[in-house]
Structure 1
Amino acid sequence: MEKTIEYRHVGGDDKRFAGLCRELDAWLLEAVGAEDLAPYEELNQAVGVEDAFLAFDGEEAVGCVCLKAYDGETAEMKRFFVRKGCRGRGIARGLLETLEAFARERGYKRLILETGEMLTTAVRLYRKAGFETIQNYGPYEKMEESLCMGKSLGQNRAISG
């Protein structure tokens, strides 16, 4: 019988969150290469993040995501990651749904994120969750490799399959 995954709200300075972010950085380095990743190094930091969420399989943190205020009505989703051996179990979907519910509770009307088109599994999950491609925003405006997406939080849309 598979263990139930538990989602917990933690601070942005949580050591387990920081550890998963380091794993994400290593995975991104392997997935896209040092040259393509270099311009994003500073932008990928979780500086100023107060709200993070971890997915736990038992007592082991296996996934993370965080929320960063962008403006009064919009929050940015960052540092979204599930360990390779734990993928395919709905953990990413659970993290995303947990984050969206929290953002709604905090009064945000919209979520935005930045990813890369080459990260096809992530892009597919975001689209299933109702995210649509938007104009590149803020620090990503001149980064052609970036794919920015946004979603209205007006409706609670369950992520299918």
Structure 2
Amino acid sequence: MITLTRTDSSNPDFVALVKLLDAYLAEKDGRDHDFYNQFNKIVNLKNVVVCYENGIPMACGAIKQFDENSMEVKRMFTEPKARGKGLASRVLTELEVWAAELGYKKCVLETGKRQVEAVALYKKKGYSLTPNYGQYIGIENSVCFQKFL
């Protein structure tokens, strides 16, 4: 059985999944990891979703305010053994619903070009490429997306 839980960044299952995410990204990003890691702190995230499969945490994601109309999707991760089951899609959809409930009109996000599966997920879920924003402007490995809710 798949369940989704809305929580915050103090959730221990979210913290554990993010540790796995950080290890994965350190390997994928190589020498670029330190640059990206500085923008991925999870302190005080108020809008976190954890996905459980039979009571075991398998996927997560979060949103945080980007501007008055937009939420930024952060810390998306699915355990490797649970990939291909649509869990990330379910987490992302729940984050979008939550953002809309809070009155936001758009979600934005950044991912790395090396995260091929993530890029495919965002395109499949209706996100469109947008110019790199904020700290990602001019960063060759970064690709930014947006979706109107």
Which runs of at least 4 in structure 1 moved beyond 4 Å after TM superposition?
A: none
The equivalent of 1:106 in structure 2 is 102
Tell me which residue corresponds to 1:27: 24
How far is 1:44 from its partner? 1.6
State the TM-score, normalizing by the size of structure 2.
0.96
Identity, in percent, stands at 34
Structure 2: runs of 5 or more not aligned: none
User: Where does 1:1-161 land on structure 2 (aligned, <5 Å)?
Assistant: 4-33=1-30, 35-153=31-149
Shift of 1:11: 1.2
CA contact under 8 A between 1:48 and 1:68: conserved in structure 2? no
Return 5+ residue gaps in structure 1 as ranges.
154-161
Q: TM-score, normalised by structure 1?
A: 0.89
In structure 2, how many angstroms separate the alpha carbons of the residues matched to 1:9 and 1:70? 19
In 2, Cα distance between the equivalents of 1:31 and 1:41?
A: 12
What is the alpha-carbon root mean square deviation over aligned residues?
1.0
Tell me the secondary structure at the aligned position of residue 80 of structure 1.
strand
- Look up the equivalent residue of 2:20 and give its one-letter code: E
Contact 2:59 2:87 in 1 (8 A): yes
Q: How far, CA to CA, are the matches of 1:134 and 1:49 in structure 2?
A: 24
Residue 156 (structure 1) aligns with:
none
The aligned amino acid for 1:72 is E
Residue identity matched to 2:115: L
